[in-house]
Structure 1
Amino acid sequence: MSRAIRRLNRAVVKAINEPGRYNDGNGLYLIVKKSGSKSWLYRYRLNGGRRDMGLGSVSLTNNIDVVRKKADEVRALVQAGIDPLERRETDVERRIQEIEKQYTFAEIIDLFFKSKDSTGYFRTQQTRRRWYFCLTTHAKGLHKTQLSKITTKQVYKILEPLWMVKTETASRTRLYIEAVLAWAIAMEYRDGPNPAIWRGNLNQLLTPKERVKPSRNHPALPWQEIPTLMKKLRGLETPASYLLEFIILTASRSGEARGAVWDEVDTDKRLWEIPAERMKMKRPHIVPLEGASLSLVRDAKLYPHPSLVFHNPRNNKAFSYNAPMVTLRKLGYENITTHGFRSSFKTWALEATSFPTQAIEFALAHETKNTVERAYIRGNRMLDKRREVMLAWDNYCSGGSKA
């Protein structure tokens, strides 16, 4: 026999203020909380278990006939063996997916950066700024486009005007667009394929960058001129000049030296151990410190920073990317880059010394491509031999013999 139903009406619902649960019949209840808020609840049994499903607050649904109709719809699902709560979750998820599929490229860029920032994806702030600039400036024509509607042709139209005049910038922009869209596809904000991929896609529309403009290496100072530069550099005696000298003597990348912290340095063992997360190839790297490079670190301890080995005394922070370059310009070197000193070191080592090529490559944190060699050369990667290389380089830079 069916339980009594329709026990409540609008006047009764309005008058009830005592906290509790009030039965309207057939599983529909009015819930009054201590705070005074009122809501509707439908209680049902399915597969041997009891479940409660909210049907909204009284303030939003004060027409009891509307609520009873909702309860009838839920009851029909239960009688058909369908769990209305699971159905609601599925419907909500589907609506969320529909909303997400309507995201514009600009909205996805924001979500992409929030996600990557939380995982430390960008090794440096400079790298992050470069990505952000390319995506918000050169890819601006895609910003208002709904993510699901971005096509290869649209990406091509964004890149084509830039491709022949700033090929490297255009190539980077394409790579960054591809990365953002790949992330969006993985997050199920968009269905594949990725319209920004190169092979079998944009390479049919754009000339390979190698054929547009031959790739340029970082302008490097001939190794024969390094001692002269070093003499001028040591005459400056500024914090930035000490940093640049350290970069040259250790054949390290600018970012690795600028970010060096005291926890990485052991002056007793004469070692600088750079963790994988700070290296370009995400492999830890050990740099032997000899001669002037060791002295620079020891001298830096006289003007200590809580963490940084080299710091800008003006703001007590790490030196900017441009600091070593500005120092070079002060000395009159207009057409070389800081990174080019790695090339100067390698050319010196190959042309003026008889050190093993593999030791030279390891000094530059380069991995051997020979799988057999890689199997036999493990651990410290010829650290003792590399120490000899760096000591000879230090001696040469200071005006000594070639090797």
Structure 2
Amino acid sequence: MSEPNSGEKAGKDTMGSHTRNVLTVKKIASSKGKKLRDGGGLWLVTKGSGRYWILDYRFGGKRRQMGLGPYHSVGLAEARLKAEAARSILRSGQDPVEHRRTEEASMAASVADGVMTFGKYADAFVDNAVSAGRWRGKKTEARWRNMMTNHAAQLREKEVAAVGVQDVISVVRPLWGKKQETAEKLREAIERVLDAAKVEGLREGDNPAAWRGNLEHVFHKPDAISRTSNHAAMPWRELPAFMGALRQVDTIGASALEFTILTAARSGEVRGAVWDEVDLEAKLWTIPAERMKAGKIHRVPLSDRAVEVLQEMKSKKLNDFLFPGVGVRKPISSNTMSKSLRENGGAGVTVHGFRSTFRDWVTEATTFDGDLAEMALAHAVGDAVARAYARSDALEKRRQLMADWAQHCASAK
């Protein structure tokens, strides 16, 4: 491929450029240009009948280009996140293209190396997750390695295709009811590893670590053992009156709490949100993978009222955060929304509990599909096989869901 713009000197807009985020969704839609520049080496180029993202960079004194996917499946926000991940790899002294090739070859080599045991596959699963930046911190990696090496020790030498229900029970049962959180995370981790193995054709049949219709019949439900009042939820019928009162309060904490409820997001996702993640014109909030609990990009359709909240906050903009704190370059604290909740009639419930309020409302008061609600909450839907083939996050369907939710929130008499 020729240089992105022959009118510019080589390297002028590669990794060293400080001009970023030039494009907008509207500009892309209206432009007929074959090479659109976003800055920092990121380009949207037309090839044949399609448009593709290209990252232009230099490594070892040579100019290279890395494909980041077609525009029809990789939007502007996601392309920027992929580009930044590649830049991070480049800053570490590695070639992003070679890094990707090495990562893809790692799992293939593991599969080709004789009998694939659970331990060998689990280690490769963790290694690849770390290489891909799947987890936000070292603690998550350490927890996974501890679970796969120590708690799942009895499974390690067993062929991954032969792991059965009794094998899973044998490693989970000693922890269940004693170290409940560890037991639940261990079961979930084993389920994910075995799901991934199935996707790669290393095993067949149902997942022996699955909860629904399987281990739920053997173990007590987690809620029956570990339920606490930490995430007490407000009944969905009482929410409109609370929202009506909350909207009378002109504070950043109240606005942040209302936005959190309207989007059914986690409080940490809202507190850390910055303006670059939001497209008010498209009514869309794109949360990058590194800020999500599951480590995956999550798109949130914004209702009209949610957009109004953000427009009000933009008029009070103090820094890059949607809801700025008192310190320079800091978001609101973790206690700010909780304080607004307590002071406006929400004593006894929690901010996180509004996600349960939303879920209960979907189940009891609407005809929306439950999977759609789970997607809105950024929960995984279906097993790994179904997720591997799912190419849509049902954004437009969720847009209607969130519009109806906003209408319910505003329905106080």
When normalised by structure 1's length, the TM-score is 0.49
Q: What TM-score do the two structures reach when normalised by structure 2?
A: 0.48
| Higher Cα radius of gyration | 1
